[in-house]
């Protein structure tokens, strides 16, 4: 099976949009503000698409007021579609929609708004358009050609990556592909889509030419607090029947964890983790799958590993039942997994879980990340990349079957817990502060 193509560089794709927003005329056309006017001018929307503009205006107002986050938009969208007579106008209106969605995200981030409702709503609306409008156009061949749909789906991916790219970044320096978690204000807790993006970036690094290392680093005072508590607490599917609920968790938990863990343990490059602080939950299992692990210091309050699965009504994730046993030893692994007790920096060092500890202060993540990069780049100067990859493959062959078996058991065990609604209740209590948070 051929590897997936690299993700395009976002800056190159959105440069024309930035240019348009900065240089186009600033005069606004009612009912839009000056922010939207350059985009409408740039996309050359005809007067025939006025119903579409009016529809967007109402939708955007709803998002700003926080009143329109979810719900059916099929009727107003259909009405807008009926008033767009030509394929060209349909295409232009869709492009303008996507441009507006991008700009709205830019505006939100520039204001540094903490409310996430706007971008959640925008993504939801784009998905609704895919489901309700574009597929109809393709199958009827009335509005949209199949090749145009491909372009639109690609744009949706770019917009989605643009949003998520604020939370995880990708760059290449020397022989190292670097993936950075950039949500320090949320302790770098990841939601479902962000874990999937992490997997996609790991895959991209796997086929990156001329690199030897894939470095996963973070920002702020925490490496990752695991799953985002708020996003998990919203998952309540008691209203679904048994079959539909099972399908839901197979898609949103089982498939994700199987894919994410597989991407880590099949990675052919040297996977390096720079622990700038505590690592918790699923993220701790993923860190344990790395080949080399470095910590910002050896202060027990600054760096620790916490696998609170038993506390959350789950089973271990990310093949942690195998990797923690292998790296920490049976006694310490039992303490971590069965009792959900944190394993502190000095114990992680003494067991060999951490390869090397630096001596930076907590919060000096940038200096620490730079030091780790220098460490691995300097150590690889006289090494042969092909030999490194072959040796890693041989080492991995000694334990891969056992690791895969444990991962499968964890995934099925976790599925049963979600179907019993045990984790949902735990996360809900944490979110409502009825139960103490793991941090």
Catalytic residues: 317
Rounded Cα–Cα distance for residues 172 and 411 (Å) = 33
Angle between helices 10-23 and 146-164 (to 10 degrees): 90
**Closest among 335, 270, 345 to 300, alpha carbons compared:** 345
**Closest among 132, 54, 129 to 94, alpha carbons compared:** 129
Angle between helices 50-65 and 117-129 (to 10 degrees): 150
C-alpha to C-alpha distances, 40 to 46, 187, 416, 434, nearest whole angstrom: 10, 38, 50, 48
C-alpha to C-alpha distances, 274 to 218, 228, 355, 373, 410, nearest whole angstrom: 7, 21, 10, 9, 26
**CB burial class (10 A; 0-12, 13-18, 19+) of residue 218?**
buried
C-alpha to C-alpha distances, 68 to 111, 258, 374, nearest whole angstrom: 20, 34, 48
Rounded Cα–Cα distance for residues 73 and 78 (Å) = 8
């Amino acid at each position: 099976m051929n590897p997936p193509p690299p993700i395009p560089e976002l800056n190159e794709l959105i440069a024309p949009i930035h240019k348009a927003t900065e240089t186009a005329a600033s005069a606004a056309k009612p009912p839009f503000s000056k922010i939207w006017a350059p985009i409408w001018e740039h996309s050359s929307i005809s007067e025939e698409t006025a119903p579409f503009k009016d529809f967007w205006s109402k939708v955007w107002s709803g998002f700003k007021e926080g009143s329109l986050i979810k719900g059916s938009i099929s009727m107003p969208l259909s009405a807008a579609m009926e008033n767009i007579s030509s394929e060209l106008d349909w295409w232009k209106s869709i492009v303008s929609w996507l441009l507006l969605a991008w700009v709205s995200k830019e505006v939100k981030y520039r204001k540094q708004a903490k409310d996430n409702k706007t971008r959640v709503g925008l993504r939801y609306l784009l998905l609704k358009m895919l489901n309700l409008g574009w597929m109809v156009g393709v199958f009827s061949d009335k509005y949209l050609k199949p090749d145009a749909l491909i372009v639109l789906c690609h744009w949706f991916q770019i917009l989605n990556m643009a949003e998520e790219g604020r939370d995880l970044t990708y760059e290449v320096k020397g022989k190292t592909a670097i993936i950075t978690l950039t949500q320090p204000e949320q302790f770098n807790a990841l939601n479902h889509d962000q874990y999937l993006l992490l997997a996609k970036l790991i895959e991209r690094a796997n086929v990156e030419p001329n690199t030897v290392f894939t470095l996963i680093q973070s920002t702020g005072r925490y490496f990752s607090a695991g799953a985002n508590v708020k996003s998990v607490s919203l998952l309540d599917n008691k209203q679904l029947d048994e079959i539909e609920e099972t399908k839901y968790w197979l898609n949103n938990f089982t498939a994700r964890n199987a894919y994410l863990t597989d991407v880590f343990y099949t990675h052919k490059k040297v996977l390096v983790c720079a622990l700038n602080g505590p690592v918790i939950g699923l993220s701790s299992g993923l860190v344990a799958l790395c080949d080399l692990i470095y910590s910002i210091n050896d202060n027990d309050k600054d760096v620790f590993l916490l696998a609170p699965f038993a506390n959350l009504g789950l089973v271990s994730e990310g093949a942690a039942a195998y990797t923690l046993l292998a790296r920490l030893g049976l006694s310490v692994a039992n303490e971590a997994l069965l009792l959900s007790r944190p394993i502190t920096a000095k114990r992680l060092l003494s067991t060999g879980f951490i390869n090397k500890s630096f001596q930076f202060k907590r919060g000096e993540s940038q200096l620490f990340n730079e030091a780790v990069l220098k460490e691995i780049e300097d150590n690889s100067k006289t090494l042969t990349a092909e030999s490194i990859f072959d040796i890693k493959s041989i080492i991995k062959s000694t334990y891969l079957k056992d690791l895969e078996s444990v991962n499968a058991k964890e995934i099925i065990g976790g599925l049963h817990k979600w179907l019993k609604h045990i984790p949902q209740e735990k996360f809900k209590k944490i979110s409502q502060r009825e139960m103490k948070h793991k941090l």
